[in-house]
Amino acid sequence: ETGVTQTPRHLVMGMTNKKSLKCEQHLGHNAMYWYKQSAKKPLELMFVYNFKEQTENNSVPSRFSPECPNSSHLFLHLHTLQPEDSALYLCASSQELPSGRADTQYFGPGTRLTVL
């Protein structure tokens, strides 16, 4: 148990569906992240939120829409996905320090997404 939870753990959706992934961190951290992990590729950063404000959007297609209502919760809304979007989606949190350094980053267990 890392203090970061994700639901659902598995999701199968069609290309026309709309679904949402949820992440919650119980660590009191001020930064949250979405990553995509595909087979045989390094982790790809998608979005970063610091103090609920989005600070990074790594050229992610608009069919992925993040939402951070507060510093403990992060959502990833999915709409009209493609089969190549099938991957493990990981949420993480960290404590960003005023110096620009970061405390450790903790990951959730991930959501295994399959797009048919």
65: its two tokens? 């829409």
- Minimum CB separation from other proteins for residue 111, in Å? 10
If the CB atoms of residues 15 and 102 are measured against other proteins, the closer one turns out to be 102
In the region spanning residues 17 to 36, those forming contacts with other proteins, defined by CB under 8 A, are 31, 33
Beta carbons of 63 and 78 less than 8 angstroms apart: yes
Alpha-carbon gap, residue 41 to 96, rounded angstroms: 26
Residue owning tokens 């608009």: 62
DSSP 10-61: EEEE-TT-EEEEEEEE-S--SEEEEEEE-TTS--EEEEEEETTEEEEE-S--
Contact between 48 and other proteins per CB under 8 A: yes
In the shown chain, the binding pattern of residues 52 to 91 toward other proteins, with x for contact by CB under 8 A and - for none, equals ---xx-x-----------------------------x-x-
Contacts to other proteins by CB under 8 A: 2, 4, 6, 31, 33, 41-43, 45, 48, 50, 55-56, 58, 88, 90, 92, 94, 96, 100-110, 112
